[in-house]
Amino acid sequence: MARFLVTGGAGFIGSNFVHYTVEHTGAHVTVLDKLTYAGSRASLAGLPEDRVTFVQGDVCDGELVDGLVADADAVIHYAAESHNDNSLRDPRPFLDTNVIGTYTLLEAVRRHDARYHHISTDEVYGDLELDDPARFTETTPYNPSSPYSSTKGASDLLVRAWARSFGIRATISNCSNNYGPRQHVEKFIPRQITNVLDGMRAKLYGTGENVRDWIHADDHSSAVLAVLERGRIGETYLIGADGELSNREVLRRILLSMGCDEDDFDHVTDRPGHDLRYAIDSSRLRSELGWEPAYRDFDAGLEATIAWYRENEGWWRPQKAQTEADYRRQGQ
C-alpha cells in the first residue's frame, strides 16, 4: 500500500484530495496540518481511521517534517497561506509557510528520496487582458502580482532548483480557481452563498469584469493523482477545465439560483493590484496523461455547492463573523 503524506489536508483542496484518494486508491494518507484559521478537522470527518492519520503541526517544523517524510512514499504539498486579500493585509505568514515551509519539506524529501508533488497556482503567471486569445501554458513566464502569488512562485522555483541541483523526484501542478464543498467563506463563491443565507448582500469587487477559470475541486484531485501516477519527473502540468467566467456572471448565477434578484449585490472597494483574467491551457495534462474533467456543467456544480452550504451551516458558521469583520475594516 502506498503511503502518502498530504500537507494542508484539513484545508479546502487538501481535504478534497484526501477524500478523493481514499475513495479511488488503496493508499494510506497521513495529513500534516497546522489547523490555522483555514483548516478544519470537520473537513476530514467520516474518513476511515485505518486509512487516514491526522498530525497537527507546522510544515516549517524541520524535526516533525523529517520524521513524517521518512515514513512516506510520496509527499503531496498543499499547505499554504492561500488568500490574496490576507496577503495584502499581512504578508509575513505567506513567506513563512509558502517559502520556508516548502524549503523544509524539500530538504526532508532530499534526505529520504521521497517522491514529491508540489501544488501551485495559475496566479504565478500574472494576468491576461480580457480580449487576449492567449491562455497560460507551462512555458508562460512567471509574473506574479500579489504577496500570495509571489510566494507561490518562489516555492515553485525552489522545487525546480531542488530537482535540478539535487535530483529530487518532483512534479509541479499549477491549477486555476477551485470551487466545491468545504471552501472557507473568505473566498468569492462561498462568501456570496453564505451572505445570501445570512440575509446579507453579496459583495462584488470593482466592476466585476475580472475573469476566473473555474474547476471543481474533485477534478483538481483527479488531475493530481494522474500526475502522481503517470507524470514525468521534473515536469510541470497546468490543470484547468475551460471554465472562464467573469465574477459578475458567477455572482448573477448564484443570486438567481438562490431566489434573489440579479442586482441584489453591492459594489465594494476593489482589491489593490487585482488580477484581471486567468485562463489555463491544459493540453499537456490531457494529451500526455489522458486526463479529462468530470464536471463539465458549471451550473450543476454550483447548484451542488450551494446545496452543500445550505446543509452544512455547522461547518461554516464558526468562520463567518470574523471573516466579515475583517472585510468590513477594508471597505469590502
The residues binding ligand DAU (CB under 6 A) are 82-84, 121-123, 176-177, 187-188, 191, 203-205, 210, 212, 247, 271, 278
- Pairwise CA distance, residues 29 & 303, whole Å: 30
Among ligand DAU, ligand NAD, none, what binds residue 21 when CB lies within 5 to 8 Å by partner kind? none
Among ligand DAU, ligand NAD, none, what binds residue 39 when CB lies within 5 to 8 Å by partner kind? ligand NAD
Among ligand NAD, ligand DAU, none, what binds residue 254 when CB lies within 5 to 8 Å by partner kind? none
CB crowding 99-122: b at 16 or more within 10 Å, else e: bbbbbbbbbbbbebebbbbbbbbb
User: How many CA within 13 A on the CB side of residue 63?
Assistant: 0
Which of 122, 186, 218, 244 is labelled catalytic? 122
Applying CB under 6 A, the span of 33-41, 108-116, 158-166, 301-309 interacting with ligand NAD comes to: 33-41
Phi, psi of 165 (to 5 degrees): -80, -35
**Which of 13/258 has CB closer to ligand NAD?**
13
Q: Site for ligand NAD (CB under 6 A): which residue of 168, 175, 196, 251?
A: 175
> Rounded to the nearest whole angstrom, what is the least distance from the CB of residue 177 to ligand DAU in the complex?
4
Which of 123, 127, 156, 186 is labelled catalytic? 123
Q: Tell me, yes or no, if 138 is annotated catalytic.
A: no
HEC sequence for 150-199: HHHHHHHHHHHHHHHHHCCCEEEEEECCEECCCCCCCCHHHHHHHHHHCC
Chain position carrying cell 523529517: 66
Q: Tell me, yes or no, if 58 is annotated catalytic.
A: no
Q: Site for ligand NAD (CB under 6 A): which residue of 23, 24, 35, 230?
A: 35
- Closest Cα to residue 196, out of 114, 250, 254? 254
Applying CB under 6 A, the span of 73-81, 227-235, 267-275, 308-316 interacting with ligand NAD comes to: 73-81
**Which of 38/306 has CB closer to ligand NAD?**
38
**Which of 47/202 has CB closer to ligand DAU?**
202
**Which of 78/103 has CB closer to ligand NAD?**
78
C-alpha cell at 19: 477524500
Applying CB under 6 A, the span of 66-74, 157-165, 172-180, 310-318 interacting with ligand NAD comes to: 172-180
Q: Tell me, yes or no, if 122 is annotated catalytic.
A: yes
3-class state of residue 204 by DSSP: strand
- Closest Cα to residue 278, out of 152, 122, 143? 122
Strand (E) positions, 235-318? 236-239, 244-246, 265-268
Among ligand NAD, ligand DAU, none, what binds residue 59 when CB lies within 5 to 8 Å by partner kind? ligand NAD
Among ligand NAD, ligand DAU, none, what binds residue 79 when CB lies within 5 to 8 Å by partner kind? ligand NAD
> Rounded to the nearest whole angstrom, what is the least distance from the CB of residue 139 to ligand DAU in the complex?
18
C-alpha cell at 319: 468562520
Contacting ligand NAD within 181-200 (CB under 6 A): 184
User: How many whole angstroms from its chain centre is CA 246?
Assistant: 19
| Long-range contact pairs involving 298-303 (C-beta distance under 8 Å, separation at least 24) | 298/214, 298/243, 298/245, 298/253, 299/253, 299/257, 301/179, 301/180, 301/216, 302/179, 302/189, 302/250, 302/253, 302/254, 302/257, 303/257
- Pairwise CA distance, residues 304 & 289, whole Å: 28
**Position 121 contacts ligand NAD (CB under 6 A):** yes
- Pairwise CA distance, residues 117 & 2, whole Å: 14
Catalytic residues: 122-123, 148
Contact footprint for ligand NAD (CB under 6 A): 7-8, 10-14, 32-36, 38-39, 58-60, 78-82, 97, 101, 119, 121, 152, 175, 177-178, 184
